[in-house]
Amino acid sequence: MKVIRNLSFLMALAASGSSLAASVKFTQFTYEGMDKVFSTPLKAGEYRNPILAGFYPDPSITRAGDDYYLVNSSFAYSPGVPIFHSKDLVNWKALGHVLTTPTQLPLKNQQTSRGIYAPTIRFHDGVFYMITTLVDVRGNFLVTAKDPAGPWSEPVLLPEIGGIDPDIFFDDDGKAYIAHNDGPVGEPLYNGHRAIWLWEFDLKTNKVVKNSGRVIVNGGTDIAKKPIWIEGPHIYKINGWYYLLCAEGGTGMDHSAVIFRSKSLHEPFVPYEKNPILTQRDLNKDRTNPITTAGHADFVQTREGDWWAVFLATRAYDKKFYNSGRETFLLPVTWKDDWLVILEQGKEIPYQHPAPVIRAKTANPDQLSGNFIWQDNFSNKQLGFEWVSLRSADSPFYQLTKSGLELQALKVKLDSLEQPAFLGRRQQHTRFSSSAEFTLPEAKTSAGIVALQSETAHYYFGVRQVDKGTELFIEQANKSAPKVIYHKLVKDLANPIHLRIEGDAGKIRFSYQSKQGKYKPVLKNADAKMLSTEVAGGFVGTLLGIHARAE
């Protein structure tokens, strides 16, 4: 994400009718994850699942030599499409984001769960390709780069290709193809009836070959059983076979990964008779620490010759609730009768597993799994990869200074589809603590800390000055316009202000630091299930962050 220079920041203030007095300075944000399931020490040679905890869904992976690169969906957050690098498949380091400019990522007025869906990353002939869908804005497109850290090219639009979840495949005869999800030929036979299409793509002209599109999978593994939402296709050529890996069953509890194969891209793809090759839907719902909704996978082969799969899944509480979103997991792939299988049906996805046999190790990886404490004092010249904003990729509502981060107090609430003055980082644990340190807002301005799942599901814990003094308040949006569910005048508020949000599965609590240095609770055991995907809907996880607003 770019640093917003003083000039553009001042111009934005002037355009909004504000002044520098309408900004709030944040000097620290702290996040701590404390999940019991992560407290078990790893044995020698083991890794921990998920490899990317928190809202990192729809993973796609590619290898270039000894290096692995992974991308995720970003929906209506910007910058778009986080990209990570690894040497060992287990430990990952953020390279930043693929889509970082307004022309690459126009997200004006987009709902939180719209925007960027299911990217695919591939390395071919010295070039990295990332292909994805920008829902409701431009449909399918691809960008390229010689360096995966960027900059990436301007989008190559693919207007001939409808639907979502495009995949790009490079055959060994020099031809390229794009597979994707779209409607079937003719009217759908039932709700959720979709198809996988295949088109030839001309690498010299960067255009789809006209009239080359055709359906290669209609409905799913067995249309007689009315399978739903076949999507997320990826094609591989292995030992003379073309394998097609897809997601099926929807992104909820019935999610799965299924596989097909063919000897030719011009012949029918035949499903594996023992599909799905990954799911958790057939397990006991009362099991301890359940991992659920597993599916949407991608394969990669190591230089050593082993196959591994990355895929999305969720860590649920109370059987079916999760606030941390769909996360990225890793498991080995086994071969059974010339078919690739990720996990035998009836087996649970393990939280700990023997690591890939790879000699190289990732240098200085980021903390992306397990329990940890993360703190940002806003002392760097640019924001870390953890921070994202809603919608627009060019958002001059903040600037980094020598003493902290100044957030302009816009007249935009968090339930608006306009650009709010909000920066957030992912909730990566079921049990967590987050706190923000900032200066007292001036009159007609509020500021504070936020737990946000979407414009219709969030908490805003803030402070503002009113006629009678300084007031703490909590605003809740729960499938309706935000409502103040708590407010109270306080006289012992510390300076600078420290506000804290703590979560534990379905409960969330709010507290402030007094002048004596102790945190005092203002609301305990509030509802956190309203931030879960099960209640709030959509495809994103909860973000924790900072917000300022002109009242």
Phi, psi of 34 (to 5 degrees): -140, 50
Cross-strand pairs, 373: 32
Which one is catalytic: 58, 88, 366, 386?
Answer: 58
Cross-strand pairs, 247: 231, 257
Determine the Cα–Cα distance for residues 381 and 191; give it in Å rounded to an integer: 50
Is 231 tagged catalytic?
yes
Determine the Cα–Cα distance for residues 117 and 478; give it in Å rounded to an integer: 25
Structure tokens at 355: 């690591």
139 neighbors 158 (Cβ within 8 angstroms): yes
Rg over alpha carbons for the chain, rounded to the nearest Å, is 24
Cβ-proximal residues to 241 (8 Å cutoff; 6+ apart), any chain: 261, 262, 263, 338
Determine the Cα–Cα distance for residues 66 and 86; give it in Å rounded to an integer: 9
First to last CA, the chain: 28
CA angle centred on 509, ends 503 and 514, rounded to 5°: 125
Determine the Cα–Cα distance for residues 330 and 358; give it in Å rounded to an integer: 14
User: 17: how many CB neighbours lie within 10 A of its CB?
Assistant: 9
Which one is catalytic: 88, 167, 182, 231?
Answer: 231
Nearest to 165 by CA among 238, 103, 251: 251
Containing H/E element for 193? none
Is 273 tagged catalytic?
no
Cross-strand pairs, 354: 46
Using DSSP, state whether 78 is helix, strand or coil: strand
Active site residues: 58, 231
